[in-house]
A and B are shown apart, each in its own frame.
Chain A
């Protein structure tokens, strides 16, 4: 259904609206495995030939651990990401917006599950992954520790946060680890709807009353910088943060572009969209650089980034508390389902014993 149900959506301009529309995802999905004909003997040869590593292949332990960490944190982000949006489910301004938001939140759960499954192929259990989220051993994206104060925040999340996520995830469709790449292909195809619905929600607000326009602008003022920070610490040039994983992840074909490169692409793609929406991006240093062929932009408040990541954001405690509580409150459902499964299994066994006795 998605993609053909945008009602009165007024096409905001030419060209692909987001990074999932540029054909990169389709190209990654069409990746044909050539390992058999290339006769690749080991991990390094497979990586060098840009082929996919599959779960039962031999792989360096650090590669496995890096992937478990990255995929798990990605999965946790999807699951925690349901909360800021879920905050507006009961207060969506129309039935249409409510149905869309429910579908979107459900998609986030789905993305989390695709990713947990991919992580499990590396030899870690679902329970362990959830434990590591609940006891804080693994993190999730710092963006979800910001509150959703108004309805316009839902538009801002779709347009900016999902837009940044797509920018990050499209190259991951070509990740060297097969199950992660395949999970990303599914995710990107769905994510495209998320960004467009966010844009459309803002588009409607910007064509509304002055108060609605002000609400949209306020949301962008609050979400712009955290969205830029989503790409992670600076990892190129003189400002590169030491001890990052970028170089190794790129050598392993997990990451295809640096954080800084993806951030620049996102800015370049988003500025014209903001202009079309009539929204002002809150960065006085933002301007087109003819020489570079890119937009220059100001420095992110990295102190804030690390502070929020380490637990001191507006909503860190609330997000974790709700996550752990809802998991605990769901225990009786899992117990009941397990008991029922055991009972049915017992009946089946009894019936087949009788059958063989007769």
Chain B
């Protein structure tokens, strides 16, 4: 192929005000401005969103599935980070 390849953008859509942007898929586009327009046409044809983010897929740094155990292990033994860890008298309210 001699044609220039269009970079891949990952698309995030905010379904309504007050919610976070959520990843919905990807689009190809020559640049970010066009990616937003393509994403509008592809992912919000039925009013599924009020705001769109796009980010070039190659710019995303992700944790590796190979190291899932070692990478997330440090959080595994820290149950005291959860409120249910603590014992309090049953007759105390609002706690």
Please report A residues at the B interface, Cβ cutoff 8 Å.
1-2, 36, 54, 56-57, 103, 106-107, 110, 113-114, 117, 120, 125-128, 131, 182-183, 186, 190, 331, 334-335, 337-338, 340-341, 344-345
Contacts and interface: CB of A to CB of B under 8 A. Distances in A.
18 contacts: A1-B47, A2-B46, A54-B65, A107-B45, A114-B25, A117-B27, A120-B8, A125-B5, A126-B6, A331-B3, A334-B3, A334-B30, A335-B3, A338-B4, A338-B6, A340-B30, A341-B30, A341-B31
Contact of B45 (A106, A127, A131, A183): A106
Counting contact residues on chain B (CB < 8 A from A), the size range is 20 to 34
Interface of B: 1, 3-6, 8, 25-31, 34, 41-42, 45-47, 64-65, 68
Contacts of B6: 126, 334, 337-338
B8 A113 contact: no
A106 B45 CA distance: 9
Mostly helix, strand, loop or mixed at chain A's interface? Answer: helix
A39 to B, nearest CB: 9
Given A127-B1, A344-B31, A1 B26 contact: no
Mostly helix, strand, loop or mixed at chain B's interface? Answer: loop
Given A2-B46, A337-B34, 15 more contacts: A1-B47, A36-B68, A54-B65, A56-B64, A57-B65, A103-B45, A106-B45, A113-B27, A126-B6, A126-B28, A128-B1, A182-B25, A334-B3, A334-B4, A338-B4
A190 B6 CA distance: 27
Contacts of B47: 1
A117 B38 CA distance: 13
A284 to B, nearest CB: 42
Interface-central residue, A113, A125, A128, A340, by most chain B CB under 10 Å: A113
A340 B31 contact: yes
A101 B6 CA distance: 29
B46 A110 contact: no
Contacts of A128: 1
Contact of B25 (A2, A54, A103, A117): A117
A354 B15 CA distance: 40
Given A106-B45, A110-B45, A131 B1 contact: yes
B44 to A, nearest CB: 11
A190 B46 CA distance: 9
A345 B33 CA distance: 12
A25 to B, nearest CB: 15
Given A106-B45, A120-B8, A338 B30 contact: yes
Nearest to A189: B46
A340 B25 CA distance: 25
A345 B28 CA distance: 17
A159 B25 CA distance: 29
Contacts of A344: 31
Contacts of A54: 65
A341 B34 CA distance: 9
Contacts of B41: 106, 110
Contacts of A341: 30-31, 34
B60 to A, nearest CB: 12
Contacts of A2: 46
Contacts of A186: 25
